[in-house]
Amino acid sequence: MRIVALDKNTRENILSDLLKRDPNNYDTYGETVQEIVNQVKEKKDEAVFAYTKQFDGASINAGNVKVTEAEIKEAMEAVEPELLKIMKKAMDNIRDYHQMQVRRSWFDTKKNGVILGQKVTALESVGVYVPGGKAAYPSSVLMNIIPAEVAGVERIVMVTPPGKDGKVNPVTLTAACLAGATEVYKVGGAQAVAALAFGTQSIPRVNKIVGPGNIFVALAKKAVYGHVSIDSIAGPSEILILADETANPRFVAADLLSQAEHDELASAILVTTSRKLAEKVSAEVDRFVEQLSRKEILEKSLENFGYILVASSMDEAVETANAIASEHLEIVTKDPFAVMTRIRNAGAIFIGEYSSEPLGDYFAGPNHVLPTNGTAKFFSPLGVDDFIKKSSIVYYTREALEPVHKDIIAFAKAERLTAHANSIQVRFEGGGHE
């Protein structure tokens, strides 16, 4: 794994390199995705079923697009009991963590009778996209559905591509049932996103769409934004590890590769103050790559976006971590909590050598749907807040309004909005009620 001395130019070059992974740069797919979205918006079920046949090889129609209770029962019986037990443990941790995020409506009553407040309301419906195909990602199912369920969303609709046999992966389906999905449809790709956004004869529309997917799914979410809300445009996975001479090089190498194995665009970066650690980690990475199953992907990922950066000080290392704003940030230093207080930008922060990133992916409880590609500078992990909306509450009596009504009139007139001013003025014509 390449080792580079960190300086201002190095950091700027790496930041520029990482930004090339942004899904918004893949405009070559944009026209194709927009055509799919337009066709689904216009032809509804007909387009959805045609695209499902074309892309997934499955014969889906109005009679079988929705997963039945019998199919859910069959799926749950097919899942290994041990995996089922582990999934339930993970669910408990995820639910407990997200319960702590729940917001309540609040009201503040002042002495003059004014009541101000905020009403918190769960979204009525949410669509959750879950990748399908040969792989199953039950962890993503749990991470997307449980916060919505905790928030109080009444309709949680999951969509996922079927296999050629027209069935949903049993592990994925089981996770959806356990987590609280109210409906599951056998549709994937951009056509599934469009169906959720605009509705079809078989798939009612939702208010918001969340969940990861390939570039077609990401661009489809971007295309329908405004018709519905979305969580974010997810980019490739990434990890940054901040380490000093006290870090275990074998642990660090293993953690870097845990993200590099996702795909060729995944990013794995170590920023360290120790040249000796850098060299040991590089050697350990090389050894691991020879042993692990996804060798080709690991090699290409590290070649494209893998770096070991040697910083002259922890200040420089922290500055670089904040500039990159990684999806996952591990801190493996002598005093990791002190370093953590200086981190401004990261999706999830893992502290200490036994808090490796996969702990967050599967089990600890915090959400693994995280901002990528530098968006941790302004985005947060998926959570309960993503499934609620807030309304302001205002209550004034005549006695509370009277002392300030002239101020409001003057403000409105300053903006030349005379109807605004009149709305206040009429309440005090003649000194009282008509």
CA 368 vs. chain centroid, Å, equals 7
Of 189, 178, 102, the closest CA to residue 145 belongs to 178
Backbone angles phi, psi at 296, to 5 degrees: -65, -45
Residue 154: strand, helix, or coil: coil
Strands of 106-109's sheet in order across? 106-109, 115-122, 388-395
Burial of 428 (0-12, 13-18, 19+ CB in 10 A): middle
Angle subtended at Cα 187 by Cα 185 and Cα 192, rounded to the nearest 5 degrees: 105
Identify residue 223 by its one-letter amino acid code: A
Is 420 one of the catalytic residues? no
Which of the following is catalytic: 327, 330, 353, 357?
327
Distance in angstroms between the alpha carbons of the first and the last residue of the chain: 82
In angstroms and rounded to an integer, the radius of gyration of the C-alpha atoms of the chain is 26
Query: Is 327 among the residues known to form the active site?
Result: yes
User: What is the phi/psi pair of residue 97, to 5°?
Assistant: -65, -45
**How far is the C-alpha of 209 from the C-alpha of 215, rounded, in Å?**
15
- Report the C-alpha gap between 212 and 53 in whole angstroms: 22
SS3 257: helix
Catalytic residue among 71, 98, 284, 328: 328
Tell me which H or E stretch contains 272.
strand 267-272
Reported residue count of the chain is 434
Instruction: Give one DSSP letter per residue of 18-66, joined into a string.
Output: HHTT-GGG-GGGHHHHHHHHHHHHHHTHHHHHHHHHHHH-----TTTSB
Decide if 68 contacts 173 (C-beta within 8 A).
no
Amino acid at the residue 229: S
Which residues are catalytically annotated?
327-328
